[in-house]
Structure 1
Amino acid sequence: MIIPVNISVVVPTYKRPALLKKCLDALREQTYWRTFYEVIVVADGPDPETEAVVNRFLHEKPDCAVSFHHLPAKKGPAAARNYGWEQSSGELIVFTDDDCIPDPCWLEAFAARYQALARGLVAFTGKVVVPISERPTDYEKNVAHLATAAFITANCACSRAALKMTGGFDEEFPIAWREDSDLEFKLLEGNIPIIHVPEAAICHPVREAGWGVSLAEQRKSMFNALLFKKHPLFYRSKIAAGPVWTYYIIILASIAVVFGLIANMPLITASALAVWAIAIASFIVKRLKGTSDSLSHRMEMIFTSLIIPYISVYWTLRGALRYKVFFL
């Protein structure tokens, strides 16, 4: 007789109680034995509203082993996940996010594959479904890339032994960006297999985003430098083969335009302006391709494309300085 494996599900969250409630409802409907899995919700800082939602959920559904914890101060999802798995009791630790909806067979699929491998040092990644329209916005299109990502914390599992060996998540990544790739690369460096389990599926709806959200998203570029410093070969082979040269061309052309104007050199000014215009136009066209044709979205793409190269390079270079690594 196969003895079911004890599973701990860790869900980091912060001030998104409505989304978390949907996730908890889906976790309660799992086909896996309820007596063999627990759900650990970890808020990234004090969060009374979320705690109230969890307590209400427990009152309405006392047959679920759900516990709520919070970090003393906001430290990021990596820290919340570490706290969660360190507090857990399961042999297999499964991670998802508060805005995800796991399929009913999610845990059963992970458990079956884990038991088939005789347990041990191993990690898994499941299937991520991102529902978007035929003509998505640029933001929706970017979120949809999660469906093809090799390893993301929205849907992955690690044996406790694997997490202990790698040290879990690096809390130097303070936002939801690249901390999952860092864990993936540590697993690979430790020769710990990462196995894809397509039967373990979750739905990751795209949340609404404000106009110009892509500008704020550029801050994430700073943490690319940290990931590159830690895993340069994996970064170049799996994340980006090189810098986004279009951004640097745009910036250098801008500098040349200013220089030409100051030095009263019209040929340099005109040439640099032409290079800048061509590079910007190609960037705008690339972002508009296959996306929403609404006037508001098109105006957003044009406006933000004029600014993104400068902001992105700023955060990239700031990351290189902060983490003391040559990175473009």
Structure 2
Amino acid sequence: MQDIEVSIVIPTKNRVNSLKKTLESLFVQTYPANKYEIIVCDDNSSDNTEETVKELMRKTQHNLRYTKVISKIEGPAKVRNAGINQSSGKIIGFTDDDCIVSKDWIEIAVECFKKHKEACGVYGTVTTVGDCKNKKFSISRRVDVSKDNGSYVTPNVFYKKQVLLDVGLFDTDMRYMQDIELGWRIRKKGPIIFEQSLRVNHRILCASVKTYLKRLKRTEYWVLMYSKHPEHLKEDNLILGHLYNKSPIYVISIFFTFGLLLLRSKLIMLFIIATIGAYLWAHVFVDGSYKKYPTRLAMFPRYSVTDIIRFAYSLKASIKYGCLVLF
């Protein structure tokens, strides 16, 4: 392992078929095979992930490693941390088990670090592939990065190992958003460079309505992030300093409207108009895509339900963490 310069860490759980495709894309890299290793960190899968990876380890000439992580801590943070702690490279790359990386992925990342010696990290383009047209009653989740947007998402990011150790690795308090939160901490030590030619394709996630609504709980972790990094409240230009987007204004107007309706107030019509206006402002007239306006109007039930759930989660988290941020 003395020649290893780059370690690729892949967390996985019960996705053996897509994981195999991810590994295949890593087996054909233009970067010398003896200079990088691939560490599959299994979050206690119940499928045949372990058997499949170990079979690949016997067949491949690449430095493929496997570790099973058993922990009561939820989320991929502790799995990625296990991979970092077992890594041999000075550069750690992250991708997911539903991604396909470009053939020159590692090579471009290494060259970027050579070009920007002051950089603590490098991240690149993520393109969502596929659709959910053949799956009824499902909601698609996309992970697209096309510019330097400060997301630092783990489907496509590299960091210097020493920097990761210095900042304390991924925060295991973060069930979601741990990659963005890590990026915020690392950015305090030095720049994270966006390289557009660093490319990864990310398979679209088609979630059931139940799963989609459950994932709205991630809103709580956005509030937790802001409580850990209050300086971002100003940097991110939150509306009135506490509203992450326009949706809370729409939700608040709904509550006021129902309240006035119960009180049979004469102001009810005024607030109904205000609520309609808030919805149009938050979800319809968000850009100049006029052709999308009818669809956005028809999405009124879905947007309303999700807005109220997100608002409730963010309010709960704001009280819990003592940091008022409403979504």
Query: Above 0.5 in TM-score?
Result: yes
3-state DSSP of counterpart to 1:31? coil
Higher helix share: 1
Match of 2:277 in 1: 278
Paired residues for 1:1-328 under 5 Å = 6-59=5-58, 61-73=59-71, 75-116=74-115, 122-131=120-129, 143-148=142-147, 149-150=149-150, 151-175=152-176, 178-190=177-189, 192-211=190-209, 215-238=213-236, 240=238, 242=241, 243-244=243-244, 246-265=246-265, 267-286=266-285, 301-328=299-326
| Structure 1 range deviating more: 243-252 or 219-228 | 243-252
Q: Answer whether contact 1:47 1:70 (CA < 8 A) is retained.
A: no
Deviation at 1:276, TM superposition (A): 2.0
CA 1:49–1:302 in structure 2 vs 1: closer, same or farther (change >3 Å)? farther
Structure 1: which 5+ runs fail to align? none
One-letter amino acid matched to 2:269: A
State the distance in 2 between where 1:9 and 1:206 align.
Answer: 22
Q: Answer whether contact 1:227 1:235 (CA < 8 A) is retained.
A: no
> Deviating runs (4+, > 6 A) in structure 1?
297-300
State the distance in 2 between where 1:156 and 1:291 align.
Answer: 35
TM-score (norm 2): 0.83
State the distance in 1 between where 2:299 and 2:130 align.
Answer: 18
One-letter amino acid matched to 2:182: L
CA 1:281–1:195 in structure 2 vs 1: closer, same or farther (change >3 Å)? closer
Q: Answer whether contact 1:212 1:304 (CA < 8 A) is retained.
A: no
One-letter amino acid matched to 1:309: D
Deviation at 1:159, TM superposition (A): 1.1
Deviation at 1:85, TM superposition (A): 0.6
CA 1:128–1:262 in structure 2 vs 1: closer, same or farther (change >3 Å)? closer
Q: How many residues align?
A: 314
Q: Answer whether contact 2:44 2:69 (CA < 8 A) is retained.
A: yes
CA 1:285–1:139 in structure 2 vs 1: closer, same or farther (change >3 Å)? farther
Structure 2: which 5+ runs fail to align? none
3-state DSSP of counterpart to 1:184? helix
Identity %, equivalent residues: 23
3-state DSSP of counterpart to 2:31? coil
TM-score (norm 1): 0.83
One-letter amino acid matched to 2:199: A
